[in-house]
């Protein structure tokens, strides 16, 4: 298994669908995974460090794992079948390990909240990834471009992008 991290979150302009980009740790290969708008918002809010007075769904799930005495050991993005990605949450409670089937988008949102590592297979990185060339300089993007997509933003740029949004703006991540 190859460790990956969330490199960026963006919007596929051709399909108007959110995409989370996972980049291999210490490498240049990236794995794009098209996700739903709710999960994109959950990932974006966690990346930006936004906290709410009441738990959101992914926060609740993290609390349930911890409340039951478990820890999220890792998330594994395991395969893609007919353009659908599959992932597993590996939860440890005492000496027992539990493998829970989950969508990658939910798994990533939970892993970010619980500071758990994310892994994928070399095969997925080899066959479905794209190579990162020189990253575009998104700092020079205009406000109009920023409104269209949060693609490739640094955490500080993403935080500022989200601060300028109204809650109803999250609907822009529409499939």
Residue 76 has pLDDT above 70, yes or no: yes
Read off the tokens for 25.
């740790």
With tokens 């609390």, the residue in question is 63
* pLDDT band (50, 70, 90) for residue 69: very high
Q: How much is the pLDDT for 1?
A: 92
User: Are 128 and 31 in contact, with CB atoms under 8 Å apart?
Assistant: yes
Question: Which is more confidently placed, 56 or 131?
Answer: 56
Q: What structural domains does the chain harbor?
A: 2-170 (3.10.690.10)
User: Are 19 and 129 in contact, with CB atoms under 8 Å apart?
Assistant: no
Give the span between the Cα atoms of 114 and 135, in whole angstroms.
28
Q: How much is the pLDDT for 147?
A: 35
Q: How much is the pLDDT for 91?
A: 98
Q: How much is the pLDDT for 157?
A: 58
Residue 40 has pLDDT above 90, yes or no: yes
Least reliable range by pLDDT among 3-7, 11-15, 82-86, 133-137: 133-137
The fraction of the chain above a pLDDT of 90, given in percent, is 55
Residue 126 has pLDDT above 90, yes or no: no
Read off the tokens for 171.
């609907």
């Amino acid at each position: 298994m190859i460790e990956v991290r969330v490199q960026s979150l963006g919007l596929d302009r051709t399909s108007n669908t959110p995409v989370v980009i996972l980049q291999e740790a210490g490498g240049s290969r990236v794995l794009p995974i098209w996700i739903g708008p709710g999960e994109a918002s959950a990932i974006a809010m966690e990346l930006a460090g936004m906290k709410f007075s009441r738990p959101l769904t992914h926060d609740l799930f993290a609390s349930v794992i911890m409340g039951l005495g478990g820890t999220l050991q890792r998330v594994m993005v395991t395969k893609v079948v007919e353009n659908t990605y599959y992932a597993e949450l590996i939860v440890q409670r005492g000496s027992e390990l539990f493998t829970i089937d989950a969508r990658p988008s939910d798994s990533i949102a939970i892993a970010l909240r619980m500071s758990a590592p994310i892994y994928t297979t070399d095969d997925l990185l080899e066959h479905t990834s794209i190579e990162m060339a020189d990253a575009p300089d998104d700092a020079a993007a205009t406000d109009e471009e920023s409104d269209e997509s949060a693609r490739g933003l640094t955490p500080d740029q993403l935080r500022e992008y989200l601060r300028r949004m109204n809650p109803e703006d999250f609907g822009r991540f529409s499939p």
